[in-house]
Structure 1
Amino acid sequence: LVAQWKQSREHSEDIHHKLMQAYPEVPDWWYGALFIFMSIIAVITCEIWDYKLPWWGVLLAIAMSAFFALPVGLIQAVTNQQPGLNIITEYVIGYMLPGHAIANVTFKTLGYISMAQALTFTGDLKLGHYMKIPPRAMFWAQLMGTFIAGLTNLLTANWLLASQKGICEDNKQFGCPSANTFYSASVIWGVIAPDRMFGPTSIYNAVNYFFILGFLLPIPFYYLKKFWPNSALEFIHIPVLLAATGMMPPAQAYHYTNWLAVGFLFQFFARRYHPDWHLRYTYILSAAFDSGTAFMVLFSFLIFTLRDVDMPYWWGNPEDSMCPLESAPYIPLAPPPAA
């Protein structure tokens, strides 16, 4: 952190910064006023709607997101991986307010998503910097986009909850894996609370040692790289390795195998043996995959889900289950011994 900070202060101006000096910068008080105003709105919202999260909990969540924004942002800038604060925030508020699920998820949202959105906003500003978009135009575009997106998400969620039967339960089209993960976390960290779930008397108490392991694990590799520079150790980055598991759940094992195959194909094979093609087309193809997936999800919803039509059966979507163990009989648990 210190080295990156010094480098950012001492590094000579690049051509992008020189060209952007033609536009007026966003005044700091714009950001400060927006920060204070939205913090007040968050406190008022939690008090009026009785989320069981007191005002000091809201301020603590905001302080945690602000504190971790710089180190997590540095990791993301170097590795394109963003370690989440969801576990840390759930852990903290779970000890402070045990038994309150709504307060737990609200604190997590304020403490984790605030930081994630701040880093997304920073990345968009960087993109606008390279595209030579005036900073003030970027500020207002982001502000209006956030308002429109939030309102659209709220209206869409309410519409789906009212129109889709069994949503997030037995609805085939809307299984809601992310929402179920969010709900499970609220039960584990909010209702049960970390003291009962991972406390000294719990069978899961040993899980706490992984916090210490995650803190200590990068240290030996740091010194090993000092002793053996320009070796294969340069490719070992512990935050990246550990952050990769952050998508599980709701991601499953086959997601990781697909990601590994695609990543190996483009970032190793194409980059090493076809560098010109990789330099010219890889990121364009990545954007095409993202856009194509988004459009296909929308078309699938309009064609199949909205009309309550099942997806056609074919080789990639067989009628029978592809998991033979799914129909295996369950072995009932033995009854407890008589007292």
Structure 2
Amino acid sequence: MSRGKFFVIAFVCSFAWYIFPAYLFLTLSSISWVCWAFPKSITAQQIGSGMSGLGLGSFALDWSVIASYLGSPLVTPFFAIVNVLVGYVLIMYMVIPISYWGMNVYEAHKFPIFSSDLFDSQGQLYNISTIVNDKFELDEVMYQREGRVYLSTFFAITYGIGFAAIVSTLTHVALFNGKGIWQQIRASTTAKVDIHTRLMKKYKDIPSWWFYSMLAVSLALSLVLCTVMKDEIQMPWWGLLIASFMALIFTVPVSIITATTNQTPGLNIITEYLMGVLLPGRPIANVVFKTYGYISMSQAISFLNDFKLGHYMKIPPRSMFLVQFIGTIIAGTVNISVAWYLLTSVENICQKELLPPNSPWTCPSDRVFFDASVIWGLVGPKRIFGSLGNYPALNWFFLGGLVGPVLVWLLQKAFPTRTWISQINLPVLLGATAAMPPATSVNFNCWIIVGVVFNYFVFKNYKKWWQRYNYVLSAALDAGLAFMGVLLYFSLTMNGISIGHWWGAEGENCPLASCPTAPGVHVEGCPVF
């Protein structure tokens, strides 16, 4: 069978199937059978819920659940999947249970076991609106009255592990790739070119001044934004320069991790932390700084990824540049327009507690983004992870991330015949749960299972099939999902047409999974101990 025919068949199957988990049978997006077996047990539902718990035994029959946060598992190397698996199991099934049930770390029982929400000392959702003044800055008097911000134990610990992951990226790349990077830089003008580069030489190259001009114009517009709209942006001009410098420094090491593992460590935590220290009490400034630091680096890696694909596909470089430039303008305009339309037309959008059950407008990623702006920008690291907060001990994870790759490197030198040691990638292993939340355990369970099945068992036993169809299958599943998603939105969701109330349309049915277990904590829908 040709790849084209295989793509069409897989595309049609993906397109036809997605109507079930997306509209007709929502429970297929998170099948948590432990909750069904123990409908009245909080502990069982905390363990079994794939959306609000540890997700033991939970799974989904929905490609959007599998590939939404970690990307397609079909295109991720097996050693990287193993690193994610090890990191996920260590954190989700060892560290969190011990912290929650064994040690009650950070008063864990007062809060849900898995949540990105912010809480007060009584285990209630923190009333953020009371500590923000008219300038969208921290009202310190009201903050002192409301008290400290508390995080769920999972959210707090994963922040600490995130500290270790981003520092370990620099150490890992320096130790394992530093020599190769330096040799490549020195040989870049004299080394022999490969067949792909020779074939690409028949096209006109991109003049350097195109890139420099784009950089200059982008920086100039950004500086104007920071100076002319300084009350709205909250970030001074020097913040833009620091953010740009951070993106420049981290692009190469993060690109190397991405190129070898298909997993991209994020700069979001370190950019938020730095700006929170420099300008505490300004959430918008923190968001803007993160965008110019972290998102710029992420987009740069996507840009490089496109060029590398164009290099292998023999697409003229100038055509690639123009397509990327025009696509950026179109995508930016459309995204802003759609976001503005949704914010003004969907009532209570992103406010989960005010929306009807199974509403598509809960915005899990945006809620985490908002909570992060409160933690790092509004309240500030000093009042969360510093001397005035509850979690200063988590700063020791920075040291762990610095030292960890050194230990792996020394083990590799001491036991050079043990090739598996060189496959340990701490930035990926430590950053395994960086997407959680908004990603949940059911996302990881499915991603790991599919990745292991296709990149180990199928590759090992049906290598020719894997080489011919694996990547085509991944693209077909993505395409079928996207087209059916658009069709469902414009034909049904936009017109308010629902399937009605029945068991299969109520999600995973684990209502007790997010309940606290500390005595005296009152939460609607949960028993009081």
- CA deviation vs aligned residue, 1:264-321 (integer Å, no higher than 9, x gap): 1111111112211111111111111221222232122123320112246677x34375
Query: Within 1, Cα distance between the matches of 2:511 and 2:321?
Result: 53
What corresponds to 1:157 in structure 2?
339
* Residue of structure 1 in register with 2:221 after alignment: 41
1:225 equivalent in structure 2:
412
Following the alignment from structure 1 to structure 2, what is the Cα–Cα distance between the partners of residues 329 and 39? Answer: 47
Match of 2:482 in 1: 294
Following superposition, the deviation at residue 333 of structure 1 comes to: 3.4
Q: Show the counterpart of 1:337.
A: none
**For structure 2, which runs of at least 5 residues remain unmatched after alignment?**
1-177, 523-529
Q: Which residue of 2 aligns with 1:210?
A: 397
**In the superposition, relative to structure 1, how do residues 237 and 103 fare at CA in structure 2: closer, same or farther (>3 Å)?**
same
The CA distance in 2 between the partners of 1:320 and 1:20, in whole Å, is 51
Q: What is the deviation of 1:81?
A: 1.5
Rounded Cα–Cα distance in structure 1 between residues aligned with 2:442 and 2:288: 31
1:232, 1:138 → 2: CA distance?
Answer: 38
Q: Deviations over 1:214-266 (max 9, x none)?
A: 22111111121223234332332211112221111100111110111111111
1:3 aligns with 2:180: yes
SS of residue in 2 equivalent to 1:92 = helix
Give the Cα separation in 1 of the matches to 2:285 and 2:210: 30
> Does residue 1:184 correspond to 2:184, yes or no?
no
For residue 64 of structure 1, what is the aligned residue in structure 2? 246
Distance 1:227 1:6 in 2: 24
C-alpha change, 1:293 and 1:197, in structure 2 (3 Å) is same
CA contact 2:499–2:505 (8 Å) conserved in 1 = no
**Structure 1 pair 328/111, CA: closer, same or farther in 2 (3 Å)?**
closer
Provide the TM-score with structure 2 as the length reference. Answer: 0.60
- On the 8 A contact 1:85/1:112 being kept in 2, the answer is yes
Task: List per-residue Cα deviations over 1:151-208 (Å, max 9, x = no partner).
Answer: 0000001111122111111341111011101100000000110011100342201111
Q: Which structure is higher in helix share?
A: 1
| Matches of 2:482 and 2:395, distance apart in 1 | 38
- Distance in 1 separating the partners of 2:508 and 2:374: 31
Q: Does the alignment pair 1:269 with 2:457?
A: yes
Q: Measured at CA, do residues 313 and 297 of structure 1 come closer, stay the same or move farther in structure 2, by a change above 3 Å?
A: farther
Q: Which runs of 4+ in 1 moved over 6 A?
A: 327-330
Cα pair distance change 1:256/1:19, threshold 3 Å: same
State the AA in 2 paired with 1:3: G
Mapped contact 1:94–1:190 kept (Cα < 8 A): yes
Q: Cα RMSD over matched residues?
A: 2.1
The aligned runs of 1:22-171 (5 Å cut-off) are 22-50=202-230, 51-169=233-351, 170-171=354-355
Q: Does the CA contact (< 8 Å) of 1:81 and 1:243 recur in 2?
A: no
2:198 match:
18
For the Cα contact (< 8 Å) 2:254–2:265, is it kept in 1? yes
TM-score (norm 1): 0.92
Q: Identity percentage over the alignment?
A: 43
2:470 corresponds, among 264, 272, 282, to 282
Query: Partner amino acid for 2:183?
Result: K
Q: For the structure 1 residues 276 and 43, does the alpha-carbon distance in structure 2 shift closer, same or farther, using more than 3 Å as the test?
A: same
Within 2, Cα distance between the matches of 1:224 and 1:53? 45
Judging changes above 3 Å, is the alpha-carbon distance between structure 1 residues 320 and 98 closer, same or farther for their aligned structure 2 residues?
Answer: closer
- Cα distance 1:90–1:326, how it changes in 2: closer, same or farther (>3 A)? closer
The residue matched to 1:25 in structure 2 has which SS? coil
Counterpart in 1 of 2:117? none
Cα distance 1:328–1:188, how it changes in 2: closer, same or farther (>3 A)?
closer
Q: Hey, what's the Cα distance between the residues in 2 that align with 1:93 and 1:56?
A: 11
Are the aligned partners of 1:304 and 1:311 in contact in 2 as well (CA < 8 Å)? no
Superposition map of 1:250-265 within 5 A: 250-265=438-453
Q: What amino acid does structure 1 have at the position aligned with 2:484?
A: M
Q: 1:272 to 1:136 in 2, by over 3 A?
A: same
> Per the alignment, do residues 230 and 111 of structure 1 end up closer, same or farther by CA in structure 2, a change over 3 Å counting?
same
- The number of residues matched between the two structures is 333
- Show CA shifts across 1:38-87 (max 9, x none): 00101111222221101111111111111111111111112222111111
Partners of 2:350 and 2:195 lie apart in 1 by 50
Q: 1:267 to 1:12 in 2, by over 3 A?
A: same
TM-superposed deviation, 1:327:
9.5
Structure 1 unaligned regions, length at least 5: 335-339
**Inter-partner Cα distance in structure 1 for 2:377 and 2:348:** 25
SS in 1 for 2:433: helix
Structure 2 letter corresponding to 1:219: V
